[in-house]
Amino acid sequence: MVTLLIHFDDEQAAAARLAQASGIPAACIERHRFPDDELRLRLPLDAQGRLPEQLVLYRSLDRPNDKLIELMLVSRQARELGARHLTLVAPYLAYMRQDMAFHPGEVVSQKIVGRFLADLFDAVITVDPHLHRIRTLDEAIPLPYAISLSGAPMLADLIARHHDKPLLIGPDAESAQWVEAAAQVHGFDHGVCTKQRHGDKAVEIALPAVDVKGRAVVLLDDVASSGHTLAMAAGLLLEAGAATVDVAVTHALFAGNALSLIRLAGVRHIWSTDCIAHESNAIEMAPVLAAAWRSINVTSI
């Protein structure tokens, strides 16, 4: 079955890496924004004005609101232009943290966005989605092929290249799954902080009962957003005697002044995967994403 990877111009580099790793051609979707913010999109057609039967759409869903509209427009039109099987490769998957209504009337975005994607695509591949109260991605995105990969092993390999016997620390309880997965790769010592959140930027943190004196500590998590939790944890670790503190995350959101806030806290190195394009990117996820795509049995769908 002929396959084409399509993408938008702002993610051309990452999409090209995935296309090369997958051994398939790539083409860009033309995009124009009107003065009223509506979008005009144009898909890359062949000489007969058609699309191949199998499409892979690369779109990482950081800053997701416009992108979700793009997904809807592209996928619906692609079906009409010949595509039979659509795979979404979204290295960062948005709207996964709101998995229950904490107050009456709150929208449970995980379920709604998950079903939205399941209606548009035949398969979804992502990396380290923020799943807290569910075990598998298909509980949020009801598809036979809802594939969740992890950046933790590759982050562990990167850390091992820089430190002999590092101590991995998670900034909060939700980071435990990624810290444990990374620690197992090379047998690193590890621990997890406890955190009490009072708002988006107001948090209290307590270090785990681990001796950090003289240790090379790496704070590891799935995502860095506001940076406040990582900055606070780094400051506490250095006060407790850590020799150095680095940060390794899968998703480099770094909203606002998050990056400078973390650096001002005394963090030395900041590493991330290229799931979201950022100056801290140190790991390419294309080989792992390509392997996951090849594992999908398209003929059975």
- What pLDDT is stored for residue 201 in this prediction? 57
Neighbours of 41 (CB within 10 A): 14
Q: Per the structure block, which two tokens stand in for 198? A: 């009072």
Longest dimension (CA), the chain: 67
Query: Own/partner pairs for 138-145, CB < 8 Å, 24+ apart?
Result: 140/96, 140/99, 140/110, 140/111, 140/114, 141/114, 141/115, 141/117, 142/114, 142/115, 142/118, 143/118, 144/301, 145/87, 145/296, 145/301
Q: Are 1 and 298 in contact (CB under 8 A)?
A: yes
Q: Per the structure block, which two tokens stand in for 192? A: 């997890």
Q: What is the pLDDT of residues 87-136, one digit of tens each?
A: 999 999 999 988 888 889 999 999 999 999 999 999 999 999 988 788 89
Give the bridge partners for 246, in sequence order. Answer: 218
Give the bridge partners for 54, in sequence order. Answer: 3, 85
Share of residues in the chain with pLDDT > 90 (%): 87
- What pLDDT is stored for residue 300 in this prediction? 53
Neighbours of 299 (CB within 10 A): 7
pLDDT at 29 over 70: yes
Strands (E) across 12-116 are located at 26-28, 30-33, 39-42, 54-58, 85-90
pLDDT at 158 over 90: yes
Q: What is the mean pLDDT of residues 4-12?
A: 97
Q: What is the pLDDT of residues 234-273, one digit of tens each?
A: 999 999 999 999 999 999 999 999 999 999 999 999 999 9
- What pLDDT is stored for residue 42 in this prediction? 98
> Crossing angle of helices 109-120/65-80, nearest 10°?
20
- Helical (H) or strand (E) element with 196: strand 194-197
Neighbours of 13 (CB within 10 A): 11
* Beta strands at 30-33 and 39-42: parallel, antiparallel or unpaired: antiparallel
CA distance 301 to 288: 22
- What pLDDT is stored for residue 301 in this prediction? 54
Q: What is the pLDDT of residues 171-224, one digit of tens each?
A: 998 899 999 999 999 999 999 999 776 665 567 899 999 999 999 999 999 999
- What pLDDT is stored for residue 12 in this prediction? 97
The 3-state DSSP class for residue 119 equals helix
Buried b (16+ CB within 10 A) or exposed e, 160-199: bebbeebbbbbbbebbebbbebbbeeeebebbbbebeeee
Q: What is the mean pLDDT of residues 14-19?
A: 98
Q: What is the mean pLDDT of residues 151-157?
A: 97
Q: Are 219 and 248 in contact (CB under 8 A)?
A: yes
- What pLDDT is stored for residue 174 in this prediction? 87
The 3-state DSSP class for residue 177 equals helix
Distances (CA, A) of 120 to 30, 41, 51, 142, 301: 20, 17, 16, 11, 14
- What pLDDT is stored for residue 121 in this prediction? 98
pLDDT at 44 over 90: yes
